[in-house]
Structure formats: structure tokens, C-alpha cells
Amino acid sequence: MNTWPRFILGTAMMACLKLAAPAPMATTVALPTRHLSVDGGRIAYDDTGGSGPLVLAIPGMGDLRSEYRALRPLLTRAGYRVVTMDVRGHGETTAVWADYSARAVGRDAQALIQHLGAGPAVILGNSFAAGSALWAAHEAPEQVHGVVLLGPIVRDGKPSWWSKAAVRLGFSGPWRVAFWMTYWNSLFPSRLPLDHAQAKAALATSLREPERMAALRAMVDLSKADTESIVNRCGVPALVVMGSRDPDFPDATLEARWLGKVLGSEPVIVEGAGHYPHLEMPERVAPHLLAFLAHLEAH
């Protein structure tokens, strides 16, 4: 998360969300959870299998690997093998780690690609995990064919003193799960997925585990200066996808254009979408994603 300006207006935002039209949602089939042991714990993931090109999807902090449930069937129908993982401290991955940084999660992604023996992969990273995709590409370019950065947060913002105070207060008491879930809800400004209520309940249940909430709190406090320092050294093709109404940025379009320019890529701006354009408006993101993947396969 970059800033929290809209959380302060939570009541008004929630009223708007109740009026939002639901986003289309393809039928998904639950896949069995698998685990990979790495130094410090176990990474939970699922795998559609098959012999197609590998796409590894990494969710942002404070969310679960199910955030890719709308894209997964679209990618598998196009012939791709899709693997989604829970990041450190989240979901079914080990809760307690010494390091929750984007770089550390990027190394987990490298380990998973190597374990699967199906690389190089295209890595999808949402929010802070866009940085993880960049780190994996930076440190192991032979394993990474390209990166797709969805609602990417790869540099520190400049939150106001009251935003910082709101975050401290929000995480300071027994209301911390409700605080995060209200913020999380605000990331879907135009419409909600049809299964949003189920996803929200699953995420809230996970974050009620004290160790997982502590992991989230640790991630929120991390600087992204190290990630910003490697953005211009990505070394692999990149696609930037940003919702025009992403509340994590004062001007999401401006942020997307900055990042696209640094990466040498024309960003995709999804008008009206928030921090999860791939989940809020998958029908508008998928064509750009599939075209990017096809271009990589052709070159």
C-alpha cells in the first residue's frame, strides 16, 4: 500500500461499493494445495498442470492466491500452465519468517520455478508482489521470460501525517482485521466479483490468525527503496496494468506511465478499475495479457 487517503472516507466508500455492479467471474475449480520447502518455511501453491508455458502468479500483501481466480481459467483455456502461490505470512504458506520483503518473495518464486522444472516462466505480480516479479527477473533472468505488473507498487509514496496516524490506529487494536478488510474493499471502486463475499470471508478468517496479521503489519512498514533501485535493470519484457481509480496512488495513470517509461513498455490503463484490475475487470485485462504472452512465445 502506498497511501491511505480513501480509507479515512471509509463510510462513504462502503456506501458506494454496495451500489457497484458485480464483475463477471468464470467458474473456477478448486485445486489441491501443494507445498515447497525453502529456507525458513514452506510456500503454499496450486498448479493447473499441463505442458504449456508456465505462468506464475503472486498476490499482493494482505491477500490470498485466490485473487487470480478470474484470470486462471482464461489462461488455462489459452494453453498456459498456471501456478499461484501464497506469499510469506499469508494463506497456507508458513506464517512466521525473518524476512517478508519483496526480494525474499521473489526468491521464493525463483525456487518454485526451479522446483517445477518448467521455466522460464512469466511472473504476474500484484501490488507489492510486482516488486517480487522484478526481483526474480533481476536475480534469475534465465528463469523469467517476462513480468506482468498489476497495480504495481514499486517505490515509496509520501503519505501525510494523518494517513500514517490512521494506519497506526487501524492496526493497534482488536479492530485490526475490520480495518484491513474495509481498506481491501475500497480497492474495488467500480464493481465487485460475484464471489466477493466468499473471498472476503476467507481472507478475514486467515488474518484473524495473530501471526498472519503480524506478518501483514511487518510488510506494511517495509520500504520499497530497494525495489525502486532495480526497476531500470529489469532485463526482461514487462507489461504494466493499472486501474485508473487505484486508490493507492494520488494519480494512478501518472504512476503507470512513469513505470512504463522506465521499463520501456506502454502501460495498459483500465478505466474505472481499482487496485485489482485483473479481478475487477478481467474481461478487459485478459486480452492485453494474452497478447503479451503470445508475443513472448513468438520471440
CATH of the domain at 127: 3.40.50.1820
pLDDT at 13: 35
Torsion sign over Cα 278, 150, 246, 165 = positive
| 2 occurs within a structural domain | no
pLDDT at 16: 36
Instruction: Give tens-digit pLDDT for 230-287.
Output: 999 998 999 999 999 999 999 999 999 999 999 999 999 999 999 999 999 999 999 9
Query: Is the model's pLDDT at 15 over the cut of 70?
Result: no
Angle among Cα 55, 61, 65 to the nearest 5 degrees reads 40
pLDDT at 164: 80
- Neighbouring C-alpha atoms within 13 Å toward the C-beta of 203: 26
Query: Is the model's pLDDT at 24 over the cut of 60?
Result: no
Domain that holds residue 65: 7-19+30-298
| 152 occurs within a structural domain | yes
Query: Is the model's pLDDT at 215 over the cut of 80?
Result: yes
| 133 occurs within a structural domain | yes
| 160 occurs within a structural domain | yes
Instruction: Give tens-digit pLDDT for 100-156.
Output: 999 999 999 999 999 999 989 999 999 999 999 999 999 999 999 999 999 999 999
| Total domains, the chain | 1
Mean pLDDT over 147-173 rounds to 89
pLDDT at 2: 43
Mean pLDDT over 57-84 rounds to 97
pLDDT band of residue 28 (cuts 50, 70, 90) is low
pLDDT at 6: 37
Mean pLDDT over 21-31 rounds to 61
Name the 3-class secondary structure at 288: helix
Q: What is the mean pLDDT of the chain?
A: 90
| 24 occurs within a structural domain | no
DSSP string, 213-280: HHHHHHHHH---HHHHTTGGG--S-EEEEEETT-TTSSSHHHHHHHHHHHHT-PPEEETT--S-HHHH
pLDDT at 22: 54
| 1 occurs within a structural domain | no
- Neighbouring C-alpha atoms within 13 Å toward the C-beta of 108: 34
| 25 occurs within a structural domain | no
CB atoms within 10 A of CB 59: 26
Picking from 59, 57, 71, 67, the residue whose alpha carbon sits closest to that of residue 26 is: 71
| 118 occurs within a structural domain | yes
